[in-house]
Amino acid sequence: MGHVPLHYSIRLTLMNVYLPQRAQGNDFGAISYDFFQAFSNVKKLSIRNCNLQNANYTFTKTDMFKELEEIQNLDVSSNGLRNFPIIPNPGKLIELNLSHNVFDTIPIVFVNYTSLILLDMSFNLIGELSKDARSKLDVAAGRNSKMKIKVQGNIFSCGCENLDFILWLMDTTVIDESDRNFPCIQDNGTTTGTVDVARNYRSIHRYCTGKLSLSLTITFMTMFVTSIIMTYIVSKNSTRYRNIAMRLLGFGVQYLTPKEFDFTFFVAYCAADVPFIYRKVRPGLEQCNHPARLFLKDRDVLPGVPIADGIICGITNSWKSVLVISDDFLQDCSQWSHFTIDAALYSVTDLIPNRIIVLLVGPVQVEDLPERLLNVVEEECILRVEDYQDGDGTLWKDLRKTAGI
């Protein structure tokens, strides 16, 4: 189509409703970028319901309407549009119909549309207008008292964050509708009307600020109580927590290593488990390619040395303590098993992480262990012999890995 200069009073209609014989079923989804060059003098242009949403690449170009320098009335309603191009002479535009699209805000800069009388934004997806957008609208209305905006058909948000918008919507002079009871959705998902929200503004505002105040109060009280508890705990253990802080910062703490001990493992067991110790534990840890030095009380406590002193000496001079616990160990009538547990617990220090490793033998379960032991030993440091296949060596590899050697 060539350039066709039109008289300024002509009305160009491409809408299938206005001219059913000539344009019914028009589909401008494939509209070309230079289509409007033929209509540079047109004043009234209606492109209603022409599937422009399918021409997104073309229609979203900011200078799509650059040839419409004389346009005064523009109707691009019912096209599923999300964006609106720039008008070359926005100061000449009097009416703009953007209804029945999918705009979520007002897509024009009002300061440029000085002659605009009517902007139809009805039946779009506008949930609310920002404070900045409302302020610009009020300024534009102050300069042009005839400017009106239609917003019916939009479902607004009237939650706690949008109460000011609802009040503005009810009071501003820029809204065209006289009945301003628009539908709106509350924070709980229920639908109400803007009139009811405005009428009950004070109670709704108290409810909203009450929720915020409650959240802040709970947060403050939690922090306050926590700080009191932490202050009390730290004051009762000031030296310990000072050392912890220094260790975290890398100052003043020397970690121990296995090389600083005479023995790798102190192995605790009862008399009934001696066969397991010498047939399984000793070959698996001491008689292998990378042997670990074991402290076995029946072998390494010197004659004449009290058994209690020997146990304490063995634990002190060993990198880790391995407690071989069976039902017989827990029911040991000699009380040496329980003494060994207590001695191992007393040896625990922050300088040697996970110093106690528990080896469960037979049907004994984790919950059968003494509570004082469970309070100290990490779950990853409790190994069950029955979980491993006999003779494959995996148990001893995992034990070494747990011990950090």
Q: What is the pLDDT of residues 250-306, one digit of tens each?
A: 665 566 788 889 999 999 999 899 999 999 999 989 888 888 999 998 888 888 888
C-alpha span between 50 and 30 (Å, rounded): 10
Q: Which helix (H) or strand (E) holds 397?
A: helix 394-403
Q: What CATH number should be reported for the domain whose range is 11-205? A: 3.80.10.10
For the chain, what's the residue count?
Answer: 405
- Could you state, in order of their start, the residue ranges of all structural domains in the chain? 11-205, 206-248, 258-403
Which of 16-20, 158-162, 205-209, 210-214 is predicted least confidently?
A: 16-20
Q: Which helix (H) or strand (E) holds 225?
A: helix 201-236
Instruction: Specify whether the CB–CB gap between 97 and 120 falls below 8 A.
Output: yes
Which of 25-29, 224-228, 281-285, 385-389 is predicted least confidently?
A: 25-29
Place of tokens 């020397």: 254
> Which pLDDT belongs to residue 53?
66
* pLDDT band per the 50, 70, 90 thresholds, residue 122: very high
Interval 26-34 mean pLDDT:
61
Residue 180 tokens, joined: 């301003």
> Which pLDDT belongs to residue 1?
41
- What is the bridge-based pairing of β-strands 318-325 and 294-296? unpaired
- Examine the pLDDT at 51 and tell me if it is beyond 80: no
Interval 234-242 mean pLDDT:
72
Residues 83-120 have pLDDT tens digits of: 888 888 899 999 999 999 999 999 988 888 999 999 99
* pLDDT band per the 50, 70, 90 thresholds, residue 16: very low
C-alpha span between 149 and 176 (Å, rounded): 5
Q: Which of 232, 403, 380 is nearest to 319 (CA)?
A: 403
Place of tokens 């917003």: 151
Q: Which of 237, 272, 277, 265 is nearest to 355 (CA)?
A: 265
Residues 310-364 have pLDDT tens digits of: 999 999 999 999 999 999 998 887 788 889 999 999 888 877 878 899 999 989 9
> Which pLDDT belongs to residue 60?
56
Instruction: Specify whether the CB–CB gap between 373 and 358 falls below 8 A.
Output: yes
Find the helix packing angle between 201-236 and 238-248, rounded to 10°. Answer: 100
Residues 131-185 have pLDDT tens digits of: 999 999 999 988 888 999 999 999 999 988 889 999 999 999 999 998 899 999 9
Q: How far is CA 74 from the centre of its chain?
A: 44
For 25: left if phi > 0, alpha if psi spans -120 to 50, otherwise beta; the answer is: left
Q: Which helix (H) or strand (E) holds 266?
A: strand 263-268
What CATH superfamily is the domain 258-403?
A: Toll/interleukin-1 receptor homology (TIR) domain (3.40.50.10140)
Residue 5 tokens, joined: 């200069």
DSSP E strands in 241-353: the ranges are 263-268, 294-296, 318-325
C-alpha span between 19 and 28 (Å, rounded): 15
- Examine the pLDDT at 229 and tell me if it is beyond 90: no
Which residues are 156's β-sheet partners?
184
> Which pLDDT belongs to residue 121?
96
- Examine the pLDDT at 24 and tell me if it is beyond 60: no
CB half-sphere exposure, 71, CA atoms < 13 A: 25
Long-range pairs, 313-318, Cβ under 8 A, ≥24? 314/263, 314/266, 315/266, 315/340, 315/343, 315/344, 315/347, 316/347, 317/261, 317/262, 317/263, 317/266, 318/261, 318/262, 318/263, 318/264, 318/265, 318/266
> Which pLDDT belongs to residue 332?
82
> Which pLDDT belongs to residue 124?
95
Q: Which of 3, 74, 70 is nearest to 35 (CA)?
A: 3
> Which pLDDT belongs to residue 56?
54
> Which pLDDT belongs to residue 194?
93
Residue 326 tokens, joined: 């069976």
- What is the bridge-based pairing of β-strands 183-185 and 191-193? antiparallel
> Which pLDDT belongs to residue 3?
44
- Examine the pLDDT at 243 and tell me if it is beyond 80: no
Instruction: Specify whether the CB–CB gap between 243 and 253 falls below 8 A.
Output: yes
